[in-house]
Structure 1
Amino acid sequence: MPPLLFVLVLLFLTPASTLDFRYHSNQEMEQYLLQVNASNPDIAHLYSIGQSVLGRELWVLALGVRPRSHTVGIPEFKYVANMHGNEVLGRELMLQLVDDLVRGYRNNETWSLQILNSSRVHVLPTMNPDGFNVADTHCQFSQGRLNHNNIDLNRNFPDAFAGLRKQQQLNEDKREAEVRAVMGWLRTETFVLSANLHGGALVASYPYDNGGSELVGGASVSPDDDVFIHLAKVYSHNHASMHRGDVCHDSRPFLDGITNGYQWYPLSGGMQDYNYVWAQCLELTLEVSCCKFPPAAQLPALWTDNRKSLLAFMKQVHLGVKGRVFDGSGVPVQNAVVEVKGRRNLCPFRTDRHGEYYRLLLPGNYSFTVTYPGHEVLTATLDVPYGPDQFSAMKHDFLLRRIATTTDQTPTNATPTCNHTLQQVGGAAAAPTWSGSAVGLSLVAVLRSLID
């Protein structure tokens, strides 16, 4: 029997063991994910989004009742951890979360069944395995933050505001391997909600990280500011102590344990702004421990502190409205613009290759406008309820009417700079057209960079 086949057979035959509370090496983490995948083929699907600079696989474990591919009407959710290699708690929280969800599902526990029946959860435990491999255990000033090329991955994404200011073409090939992998990943799925886990503070941070035109009271306010504040509070108020806002003695106080990213310190090239602006995925940055590398003895307590928050945040993928847009022939269409009055996103939200849209909104009345070439502009007012308690957002489909002319109507706010086409199944996606280039960090950001 070939060695690889022998290993796979062992994985299938070996029951999943209890996950220890300790720091797992990259190899141990990989082995655990392989074991979970092999032992739970009905709800788990392990895949790689690419490799680090040194060739380590960037493994993602998808969990759900249809884990291998997207199901229309089922929102895609993701957690990303260990973007900074020396901020390590997130890695272990993600492994514990996987263990918790799988065991809960196997034991027919309602909370796990509800999550995995209603959403598809993707977990990337480490985005920077090379940095982790050289990290030491100092609480704040340890090595390993950067990738192998000594680049901060959370300063390496295309920056929307730099692009709007300079209007220069961005070369994606010059991005770091780990960043390119995530950018490509975001073109394969319509992720609805996300969080990336860091360490060195205890706060839930939300977009924008960089400054746009809407600067209010020192904050860079996004069109979905109300939703972001709600999401941040969901995490902080379900956490054992984050909501207090003053737990870390060497950090500034945060009201309710949340902060606007720019108000905390300006940050160019961050991942959460990239997710929100170009991938229409609302993402938070979760600082989950005062110490970047907490002692292993504290891991059980830190998991207990964060478990409720991690689960509560996942439920928020069911906020607002979801549905499909159909053309005049009843065929679902890609790239229809679905806008909410009063929310002028830098890149308008569009339907994916399945004709789907997802709009995270708080309960209330909203006016929607749907635009698609060759069809009449459609408007509708929807009364949106609170969906997370039912594990489903409100469902509403839009049926367009074709216009009686040969001249197509193109959305007035559609621009090539916002082209972010999902990769087609079985084929490679064309690279999106980006407009922008990263700008230098401000002095404040440099001084604060050791915290994030």
Structure 2
Amino acid sequence: MFCYKILLVLVASLIVQSRSDTPIEDLLLEEYHDYNALKKLLETFHRSFSNISKLSSIGKSVQNRDLLVFQITDEINRIEPGEPSVKLIANTHGDEAVGREMLINLIYHLLTNYGKDEKITHLINSTNIFIIPSANPDGFEKIKRKKFSCNLNAGLNSNNIDIELNFPDILDANVTSDTLFEGREAETASLMNWILGNKFVLSGNLRQSVLSKLNLNKDNNLFDHLGSQFMTTRPTTNETISCSGVRLNNTSGSMQEFNYFFSHTFEVNLNLVCCKYPQAEKIKTEWQNSRQALINFISQVHMGIKGFVTDFSDSSFLNERAIYGTPIENAVINVALLDHNVTTNVYGDYWRLLLPGTYKVTAWANGFKSEAKLVDVVENQVTVLNFTLKRENQEIPQPTSPPIWCIIITMSWKC
């Protein structure tokens, strides 16, 4: 198969560093990749760039195929407190095949331009990027030998269930923590576990149809902004206009809704070409249209506010970032007049995406008094806003500076 010829060229180019008359990126765009080819490609990418990548599986499909996730960041073997996580997902509908090819090429593009392209290098150094090229591998395997078509209507998984709408419905009174996973498909349950186990800040779901857009009240403008950062970077055509941002009412139980209400993730449907399964030669054009738009979307995670919430009863430093106190996990960050809170990670760090403006932000946690601050959020950058919470019925001790010899000898406060 041609897919395996691609693999041989990749191995020769990436590992042996030989030259090819045809750029590898062009070869990747010549054909759709089935599950086996996708898995081998990702394994090859990881072996060649193991210093900034990790390949893992978040679970199995109904037909026992791995739901593969490719992680890219500069410190791949450790968690960097204060660094936001972004995820991109495609092919939740098996017949929406272009998205999986876009994410395969995005992975390769990010890896091979690290250390060469300034923007990509900065993005990888400051962001934890997770990419799932196919959330419904069984669905794609069903349609891969079908005739190319813009309207296959064959996006379901092997149990004929729409994964996209198989998530818990927040309006269903029967949904509790004990019943959250009842009736979920294997793919859905794996995605839910993954989303709940990782506090993602921003998410993009690559789609190829007229899109739904949730009515998220006071965060609507933020979602519109995030979507526009993707759409306005793409060339404007009649097709992209017809597919962008049509509001539908029937979104209960959707993956986007689950991300927003059950975790603190802002997920945006990113619309590609309307045609779901076009001729393979269309892939290259769509990649040219989407490459910069995808990179621009990922960079939107660096907006709004970020910081640490710590316990000031301990006057030691948190880490090399020189923040007083031990971290408080699951502290709540509330922005006045907005309905959507976020919570801190195990290291006490948080991110809250916000549009430019002045906000009153309050942090609180069980056993601590709340603390409120005013903050000005400016365009195209993130504002640092840290909180040190006082325990109930306890005075905050004033930190004391260590002797000057301690700083000189140890270059730290820990002596």
Query: How does the TM-score come out when normalised to structure 2?
Result: 0.82
Question: Deviation per CA, 1:43-84, whole angstroms, max 9, x where unpaired?
Answer: 111111011111111111111101244311111011000000
Q: 2:40 matched to 1:18?
A: no
Distance 1:381 1:320 in 2: 13
Match of 2:76 in 1: 67
Is contact 2:150-2:278 (8 Å) kept? no
Report the equivalent of 1:437.
none
Give SS of 2:281's match. Answer: helix
2:132 partner letter: L
Aligned-residue offset at 1:138: 4.4
Q: For residue 14 of structure 1, report the CA deviation from its aligned partner.
A: 5.1
CA distance, structure 2, for counterparts of residue 221 and residue 73 of structure 1: 26
Match of 1:158 among 168, 193, 201: 168
Matching residue's letter, 2:343? R
One-letter amino acid of the structure 1 residue matched with residue 68 of structure 2 = W
Native 8 Å contact 2:55 2:70 kept in 1: yes
Choose from 233, 242, 247 the match for 2:239: 247
Of 125, 136, 142, which aligns to 2:133?
125
Could you tell me whether the CA contact under 8 Å between 1:15 and 1:39 is conserved in 2? no
* Cα distance per residue 1:223-268 (max 9 Å; x no partner): 3112111111111111112xx6x426xxx957xx434xxx334222
The SS at the match of 1:224 is helix
- Consecutive unaligned residues in structure 2, runs of 5 or more: 1-7, 314-324, 395-415
- Is structure 2 residue 377 aligned with structure 1 residue 384? yes
Contact 1:326 1:399 (8 Å CA) reproduced: yes
**Secondary structure at 1:223 match in 2:** helix
CA distance in 2, matches of 1:379, 1:403: 16
- Distance in structure 1 (CA, Å) of the matches to 2:122 and 2:112: 14
Superposed, 1:417-436 pairs within 5 Å as none
Secondary structure at 1:24 match in 2 = coil
Q: Say whether 1:291 aligns with 2:275.
A: yes
- Counterpart residue identity of residue 82, structure 1: N
Paired amino acid for 1:155: L
Q: Any conservation in 2 of the 1:320–1:362 contact (CA below 8 Å)?
A: yes
By relative contact order (CA 8 Å, sep 6+), the higher-ranking structure is 1
Q: 1: distance between equivalents of 2:24 and 2:377?
A: 42
> The residue matched to 1:264 in structure 2 has which SS?
coil
Aligned CA distance change for structure 1 residues 383 and 307 (closer, same or farther; 3 Å):
same
Q: 1:167 & 1:23 partners in 2: Cα distance?
A: 39
CA offsets 1:384-407 (integer angstroms, 9 cap, x no match): 12245xxxx2222100111218xx
Between structure 1 and structure 2, the one with the greater Rg is: 2
Runs (5+) with no aligned partner, structure 1 = 1-6, 209-219, 406-452
Percent of pairs identical after alignment? 31
- 8 Å Cα contact 2:207-2:272 kept in structure 1: yes
Residue 236 (structure 1) aligns with: 231
Aligned 8 A contact 2:86 2:127 in 1: yes
Superposed CA offset, 1:6-61 (max 9, x none): x9xx8995559814212011111110100010111111111110111111111111
How do 1:100-139 and structure 2 match up within 5 A? Answer: 100-106=109-115, 108-135=116-143, 136-139=146-149
2:35 pairs with 1:48: no
User: 1:288 Cα deviation (Å)?
Assistant: 0.7
Measured after TM superposition, the shift of residue 286 of structure 1 is 1.8
The 3-state SS of whatever aligns with 1:67 is: coil
| Residues 1:309 and 2:302 aligned together | no
Give the number of aligned pairs.
Answer: 363
Other-structure match for 1:425: none
Give the structure 2 partner of residue 80 of structure 1.
89
Preserved CA contact (<8 Å) 2:195 2:263: yes
RMSD: 2.3
Instruction: Report the counterpart of residue 342 of structure 1 in structure 2.
Output: 337
Q: Is the 8 A contact 2:360 2:372 kept in 1?
A: yes
Q: Which moved more, 1:322-331 or 1:30-39?
A: 322-331
Cα distance, 1:139 vs structure 2:
2.5
What does residue 258 of structure 1 align with?
Answer: 245
**Structure 1 partner of 2:392:** 403
